[in-house]
A and B are shown apart, each in its own frame.
Chain A
Amino acid sequence: MLKNHLKIAWRNLMKYKFISFINLFGLTIGLTCCLLIATYIIHELSYDKYNTNASRIYRVTRSFTTTEGNISLHLGTVAPPIGPLLKHDFPDVEQQTTLLGMGTAPLRYEDKKFNESNVCFADENLSKVFTMHMVTGNIKSLAEPFSALLTEAQAQKYFGNTNPMNKMIRLSNQVNFKVAGIYKAFPSNAHMHPDILLSFASLNDSTLYGAKNLQTNWFNNSFFTYLLLPENYPVKQMEARFPAFLDAHAPRSSTGMMPSKISKLYLQPLTSIHLTSHLDSEAEENGDIKRVYIFSVIALFILLIACINYMNLSTARSTLRAKEIGIRKVVGASKKELLLQFLSESVLICWMSLLLACILLKLGMPWLSKISGTDLSIGMLLKWQVLVPVLLTPFIVGVLAGLYPALFMAAFQPVKTLKGLFKAGSKSISFRQVLVVAQFAISIILIITTLVVYSQLRYMEKKSLGFDKSQVVTIPWNIAIGNRFEAMRNDLLQQQSIKDVCRASRIPSGRLLDNSNAATVGDSIRPVNLELKYVVADYHFIPTFGITMAAGRNFSRDYGTDSTAFIVNESAAQMIGWKTPEKAIGQRFKYGSTIGTIVGVMHDFNFESLHQKIQPLILIPTDGTAQPFNRIAIKVTGASSATAIAQIQSVWKHYLPDEPFDYNFLDERFSQLYEAERRQQTIFTLFSCIAIFIASLGLLGLSAFTITQRIKEIGVRKVLGADTGSIVLMLSKDFLKLVAIAAVVAFPVAWYAMYQWLQAFAYRIGMPWYVFIIAGVLAGLVALVTVGVQAAKAAMNNPVKSLRSE
């Protein structure tokens, strides 16, 4: 029986080649998209699960609260005493490990020198919490001061084929570390990838951090702290004891508040970090569960469009098969047997599609890896949790797509079909219309989302940030520069392509995470209830970034008192309570432990990405004695950036011959902040094109079929005097009506979805109304061209031919 079903299915496939092609092609593309996106999703969901104890590992995070109780800052990192104290106070904690990221640090071995961005101080417990594999050496060497472990790639980079063991690498041209082992790099689906581990014990050295600091510094929250807890441990109960824990150990705030009132600790499951954690400090940029949802919906949309094609074309074609169905019924086929026959046809076509999709998947995988920025491979699909659903897909899709046509056809009355009285009833046409509307609605939604994402991205790239981000070269600060900075700056300014040079603790495009207590100073010192972020900047910060002043002036050497001067931005001035920027000038102000005078108010500018609102900001001047610097920024002339870079490099080489030279451009750094959105846009654009293409292929098949059905009517109309134009209009009108209905359905859905999406941006476009018109018109045009070309062909036929063919 099945053999007979498959046989006739195959012959039908071959007989209606065009329709079969549309079905096969659509389903293949649909399944390929689904498989590609499934691979991506599987990868995203697999983060950190490679750890043997993944479900028992938690990260300790810390939030800070304003006096109103709002969380103003939530960090993935905590203060250094917290980890060891937690282990001490909570005996259930099986293991605890702490890591400190170094940011960008210059590292050197003989003549090999690089700026490393994944250097971490880590303790020997790291491998007791996380699953790690040593290639040579022992993880225990992390207990010894000034020892280092390297990944294989890093060992190769610095030592080539020589044995790296016991060699000395030099950090920041200050401290030597002895290589004590090689470990296998963390897999791509880990939420962090330290590739050089320095022993945490080294931090006890006061040149690096200091033992006392490690035990008492509750304000430096930059230590990643992980706990290994027992199976099914009541984490919530543990968290409930954290306020008491903080109050027992942490010092009170400067205003005398209990520590638990201004800050909270949390336990975050390791496996949830990658997709759901977007804290103010993360080891790396994480993924986003929303992106996973969005991509899943898109994949299902495309598959749905392909299924609708199948349903539409099969029911449309069913009139041609009416006779066959009638005969089968007459010779004894039951309804069930006919259902099975048609379902086996759709399942067969789905199987063929799946096979083709697997080939396309193989070809498409490297490309998806690239645009999604992840490391994907087909190997991820080779486990039963994935293979079983994949192998079931043809049955599910086959039944989904085939059931309606099968039910529709199996219900044919044999008497009518055999007498040639059969016509697809008006009911079937209306359902088919619903399906076409659904297809076009999906396409229109995808077009709108693509256009809105594009508009928002363009807006972010073009929006004036309130300062000049162009032609600014930035270089990581290197401790080795030390107090030679002024000399180096003067040499740089000698170069004709260089306009200005500054250094700061943070530069625009980075996050603003540092703050201290602020107070106005009048008759008495009155604390300001405000998260006022600070940046330590030199006197050239404002001109280098082209920041404009709303009132007052920049720091200047002409004023002897400027070492205790402050500059705030407009937001800060306003929130502190000064009605106009001018009112702020000359006010006495206390920030941290310094009392000084406000000398200037900057116009607001976007220091951080446009996802973030402009924060109140204060610039603290530096005379260069303290060096909390992070980067040097150099404003160059627009003439030739290559020349400028060469000149900067030569000055660098002169002062720091042994230090690596790395640079990037400020506008590129800003651009990178929107990398995730750009990827999203690429994927949206691509998939909406695919969706529209498949939908229009379906429309092509359907309209071709409809026109064949009406060929006699067209002939009669022509004989009666209709011209080609009126016939094309008549045939296209029906489909255009469907597109119009689809637009009405799609608009509110797309509006709602994109409204939600835009909420993630503090600075966003208004919903662009014209995007809706473009999407509607575009869908209409696609439909018009698809249907119109065929309609014109039919209309230009000699009517005699079509009438004779009856």
Chain B
Amino acid sequence: MIKISALEKVYRTEEVETVALNKLSFEVRDGEFVAVMGPSGCGKSTLLNILGLLDDPDAGSFLFNGIEVAHFNERKRADLRKHNIGFVFQSFNLIDELTVFENVELPLIYTGVKPAERKKRVEEVLDKVQIMHRRNHYPQQLSGGQQQRVAVARAVVNQPKLILADEPTGNLDSSNGNEVMQLLTDLNEQGTTIVMVTHSEHDARYSHRIIRMLDGQTVTENINSLL
């Protein structure tokens, strides 16, 4: 599904040049659940942004489903993104002015799904994350765990092939965190590829494979399923 090779990303300010990704290469196959770990500033988030087509690399190759996307323009990236990728963030990132239902509905609106179909699919996915009863509430009225479940619902409502999760449990207590991890695992078992950035060894254990990064490079790759 994803194949990156010799990916580079450098952040420049007037005085300092920070190498975020240093000739990084790896591959994620269809249906895999990969965790990316490493200390702060090792380039995890940069990697996730590039994988999510939110940012473009300075050099290197990024094949998404066999297509070179490293130098797609913004419009093409947005198009590819809305049909193929779902995001889950540490800080949930729900829109405060929209209800639970409307937040989840948003990706479907942008992909042009008809209203009746939207309603059906949003209700299905809200059911799946067990938040149907709060469909008309606003994000501020929900607990952290509930908000993250809504965020997961929003990420999967378009049935993306890939979910990118950026410390999905970082703002949650352990029981809520476990619930969210279970949700991701279920999705993965249904065939969705997941790449998750995390600090938590506990969460990483849900994945098939852990990529450890340091200074923009991979240092080790553990295969969980073999542990």
Contacts and interface: CB of A to CB of B under 8 A. Distances in A.
Interface string B81-104: 111000101010111111000100
Contacts of A334: 75, 78-79, 110
A743 to B, nearest CB: 36
B141 interface: no
B94 A327 contact: yes
Interface stretch (B47-55, B61-69, B215-223): B47-55
B55 A332 contact: no
B209 interface: no
Given A8-B97, A12-B97, A335-B74, A330 B52 contact: yes
A583 interface: no
Given A414-B54, A415-B49, A331 B110 contact: yes
Nearest to B95: A324
Contacts of B102: 4, 7
Contacts of A335: 74-75, 78
- Main DSSP-derived SS at the A contact region: helix
Contacts of B75: 334-335
Interface string A81-114: 0000000000000000000000000000000000
A525 B79 CA distance: 99
Contact of B78 (A1, A4, A327, A333): A333
Interface in B16-61: 45, 49, 52, 54-55
A323 interface: yes
A330 B81 contact: yes
Nearest to B157: A331
Contacts of B107: 331-332
A418 B89 contact: yes
Contact of B111 (A7, A332, A414): A332
Nearest to A331: B107
A324 B74 CA distance: 18
Contact of B110 (A323, A337, A414): A337
B149 interface: no
Contact of A328 (B49, B79, B106, B158): B106
Nearest to A12: B97
B78 A418 contact: no
A331 B89 contact: no
Contact of A323 (B83, B93, B109): B93
A326 interface: yes
Nearest to A334: B78
Interface string A312-323: 000000000001
Contacts of A7: 102
Contacts of A415: 49, 54-55
A383 interface: no
Contacts of A15: 97
Contacts of A327: 93-95, 106
Interface in B94-128: 94-98, 102, 106-107, 109-111
Interface residues of B, number: 29
A740 B112 CA distance: 51
Contact of B97 (A11, A329, A419): A11
A15 B154 CA distance: 24
A806 B94 CA distance: 21
A4 B109 contact: yes
A783 B110 CA distance: 44
A5 to B, nearest CB: 10
B97 A418 contact: no
B87 A330 contact: yes
Contacts of B154: 331
Contacts of A12: 97
A329 B160 CA distance: 16
Contacts of B91: 418
Interface in A1-35: 1, 4, 7-8, 11-12, 15
B168 to A, nearest CB: 14
Interface string A284-328: 000000000000000000000000000000000000000110111
A334 B82 CA distance: 9
Given A1-B109, A414-B54, A331 B97 contact: no
A12 B154 CA distance: 22
A13 to B, nearest CB: 10
A330 B91 CA distance: 14
Contact of B54 (A1, A323, A324, A330): A330
A331 B49 contact: no
A255 to B, nearest CB: 85
A12 B98 CA distance: 10
Given A330-B52, A330-B54, A418 B93 contact: yes
Interface string B129-171: 0000000000000000000000000100010000000000000
A330 to B, nearest CB: 5
A414 B85 CA distance: 15
Contacts of A4: 102, 106, 109
Contacts of B74: 335
Nearest to B82: A332
B163 to A, nearest CB: 12
Contacts of A418: 89, 91, 93
Nearest to A327: B93
A337 B75 CA distance: 11
Interface in A733-756: none
Contacts of B87: 330-331
Contacts of B54: 329-330, 414-415
A419 B87 CA distance: 14
A332 B96 CA distance: 18
A704 B110 CA distance: 35
A7 to B, nearest CB: 8
A420 to B, nearest CB: 8
Interface in A173-225: none
Contacts of B89: 418
A326 B24 CA distance: 26
Contacts of A332: 78-79, 81-83, 107, 110-111, 158
Max count, chain A CB within 10 A of own CB: residue among B52, B55, B94, B110: B110
Contacts of B98: 8, 11
20 contacts: A4-B102, A4-B106, A4-B109, A8-B95, A11-B97, A324-B95, A324-B96, A326-B93, A327-B94, A329-B54, A330-B54, A330-B87, A331-B82, A332-B78, A332-B81, A332-B111, A334-B110, A335-B74, A415-B55, A419-B45
The 8 A-B residue pairs whose C-beta atoms are closest, nearest first, are A332-B82, A332-B110, A331-B107, A11-B97, A324-B95, A334-B78, A415-B54, A327-B93
Interface of B: 45, 49, 52, 54-55, 74-75, 78-79, 81-83, 87, 89, 91, 93-98, 102, 106-107, 109-111, 154, 158
Given A4-B109, A333-B78, 7 more contacts: A7-B102, A8-B95, A15-B97, A330-B93, A335-B78, A337-B110, A415-B49
